[in-house]
């Protein structure tokens, strides 16, 4: 997710980049010339993911923040949870339960052999119902604690809106909820204190000095309009497969032709 802050036009734009976006590397790494964009961090850390994302959307990436699932929940709970607006009711009957990934669900050895011999992928996983819980979120305004927010952000098997692009919109909804919560807490008035708490929970190259400088440009955060962009097959991407048969997303203009994506951001966001 890229957050673009425009203090002149008073807008904050959230840009979701799907994890399957197929991108070239600046140089060959571990025998690879191209990767899915979610591989960049494991190959080269924050520097490579910033460079790869910046090249893909043709916007400079000044700072980065990395947070793991455990600290994600702690940050939201530290703020007292978030209120979000859910556009569409969501039911996900296959949200994995931590610690039950290998549970055989009391199946006999014969049953296990039969389903493993005839099924694969998600169809196989669906046979192990005890490994999953049912998530349900009604459309409308709701309050989420950290654990529930993580489930909402990660859910990916809803029949109504379970794809990666819908997940991007849900993650943006959480960021908007966090923004509103920070405003209600008057966070900009105590930005150094809040950053000191949260910096222990994230990996970032954003310094306290830089954050203070940025916050000084935002006189009244309530004046800012939030815009949302999801790079998807509805605008600039199309599905494809790489040489190994993996599902990937490439620009509609053609593999390695990111011109249409860049044009999305030529005008002020």
- pLDDT category, 231, cuts 50, 70, 90? very high
DSSP structural state of residue 224:
P
pLDDT at 162: 64
Round to whole Å and give the CA distance between 252 and 123. 30
Mean pLDDT of 200-215: 89
Q: What is the pLDDT of residue 269?
A: 60
Average pLDDT over residues 10-14: 93
Residue 9 has pLDDT above 80, yes or no: yes
pLDDT digits (tens, 9 = 90+) for 24-77: 998 888 888 999 999 999 999 999 999 999 999 999 999 999 998 889 999 999
Residue 55's Cα: distance from chain center in Å?
A: 19
Is pLDDT of 188 > 80? Answer: no
DSSP string covering 196-242, please? HHHGGGSEE---HHHHHHHHHH-S-GGGPEEEEEE-STTTTEEEEE-
Q: What mean pLDDT is reported for the chain?
A: 91
Share of the chain above pLDDT 70, in %: 99
Which H or E run contains 15?
A: strand 11-16
Average pLDDT, stretch 130-152? 95
Averaged pLDDT for residues 94-119:
92
- The CATH code of domain 1-64+224-269 reads 3.30.420.590
H or E element, residue 108: none
List the single range of 155-164, 190-199, 255-264 with lowest mean pLDDT. 155-164
pLDDT grade for 176, boundaries at 50, 70 and 90? very high
pLDDT at 268 over 70: no
DSSP structure class, residue 219: S
The structural domains of the chain, with segments of one domain joined by +, span 1-64+224-269
Across 125-139, average pLDDT: 94
């Amino acid at each position: 997710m890229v957050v673009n802050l425009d203090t002149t036009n008073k807008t904050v734009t959230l840009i979701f980049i799907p994890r399957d976006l197929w991108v070239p590397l600046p140089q060959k790494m571990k025998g690879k010339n191209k990767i899915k964009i979610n591989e960049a961090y494991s190959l080269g850390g924050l520097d490579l993911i910033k460079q790869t994302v910046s090249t893909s959307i043709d916007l400079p990436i000044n700072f980065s923040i990395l947070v793991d699932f455990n600290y994600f929940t702690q940050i939201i709970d530290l703020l007292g949870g978030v209120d979000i607006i859910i556009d569409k009711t969501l039911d996900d009957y296959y949200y994995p339960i931590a610690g039950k990934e290998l549970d055989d669900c009391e199946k006999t050895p014969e049953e296990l052999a039969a389903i493993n011999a005839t099924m694969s992928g998600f169809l196989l996983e669906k046979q192990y119902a005890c490994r999953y819980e049912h998530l349900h979120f009604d459309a409308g305004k709701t309050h989420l604690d950290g654990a529930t927010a993580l489930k909402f952000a990660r859910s990916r098997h809803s029949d109504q809106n379970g794809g990666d692009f819908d997940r991007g919109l849900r993650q943006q909804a959480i960021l908007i909820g966090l923004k509103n919560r920070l405003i209600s807490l008057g966070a900009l008035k105590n930005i150094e204190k809040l950053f000191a708490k949260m910096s222990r929970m994230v990996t970032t190259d954003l310094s306290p000095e830089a954050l203070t400088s940025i916050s000084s440009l935002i006189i009244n955060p309530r004046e800012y309009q939030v815009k949302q962009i999801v790079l998807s097959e509805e605008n600039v991407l199309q599905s494809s497969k790489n040489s190994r048969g993996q599902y990937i997303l490439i620009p509609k203009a053609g593999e390695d032709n990111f011109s249409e994506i860049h044009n999305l951001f030529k005008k002020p966001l």
